[in-house]
Amino acid sequence: MWSEKLEFVYQYFGLAHQTYHSFYDFFDKIGILGTESDNARQYYTMIKKGIYEAMFTEKYVFICKVPLRLLRDDRNRLHSVKEAAIQFRDGISYHYIHGVYFNQDLWEQVVNRKLSPKQLLELKETDQRFVALNHYGFEKALKELNPKLINKSKKGNQLYKIKFGEVELKFLLYSDTVTGDNRVSFVKPEFDDADQAMAWKHNMTKEQYLRLEIEA
């Protein structure tokens, strides 16, 4: 039992939170670090000793070693659908699917496909909803939901509606501008125009949204 009250005085740091030390290392090697080079060198040398995470209180420092295993996908994101992506020596572990965190119970339901497509769409976290649908297969999941296409724009945005009992939900199916992957996002039920719904999602008017492509 602790006999003294712990007082938080500084943020976390370590490999779990900071990656910019790799830039210091590179800048040091090419000789462009300024007057802070000695401090920077000491800092990233300490990090490379194996500090995954450190937390400071007024009188104590808690240091966590690098995990036993870190599993990643081909884009270097924390990922595994077979076991925990982060595994520590004391048995603590964390589950990720393509870089998105899931608690263990939800992760097990997703990777074993125990949730229905409807339940996937009800996930509150957008990123969880996306990777879960991607794991199931977008086309298969949407087919099972039997959504009705309301509008498809020239930009490729597709607006659908689904009825759950007396409740009607609308969502966009669109392509990620960076990866090209399909994404799903819920929108307000009053929308009947896919581009207008996408503009609302990005906090702009439809005219502003359509102008983006012209200006680009």
Question: Token pair for residue 158?
Answer: 């597709």
Beta strands (DSSP E) in 17-154 are 51-56, 61-65, 69-70, 86-87, 93-97, 100-102, 148-152
Confidence of residue 8 (pLDDT cuts 50, 70, 90): very low
Q: What is the pLDDT of residue 18?
A: 54
- Do the strands 167-175 and 182-187 form a parallel or antiparallel pair, or are they unpaired? antiparallel
Residues across the chain:
216
Q: What is the pLDDT of residue 9?
A: 43
Confidence of residue 199 (pLDDT cuts 50, 70, 90): very high
Q: What is the pLDDT of residue 213?
A: 61
Q: Evaluate if residue 6 carries a pLDDT over 50.
A: no
Q: What is the pLDDT of residue 21?
A: 58
For 58-73, what is the mean pLDDT?
86
For 117-142, what is the mean pLDDT?
84
Confidence of residue 7 (pLDDT cuts 50, 70, 90): very low
Q: What is the pLDDT of residue 114?
A: 95
The model's pTM: 0.60
Q: What is the pLDDT of residue 215?
A: 46
Pairwise CA distance, residues 107 & 123, whole Å: 12
Confidence of residue 24 (pLDDT cuts 50, 70, 90): low
**Ramachandran sector of residue 98 (left: φ over 0; alpha: ψ -120 to 50; beta: rest):** left
For 131-159, what is the mean pLDDT?
87
Average pLDDT, the chain: 81
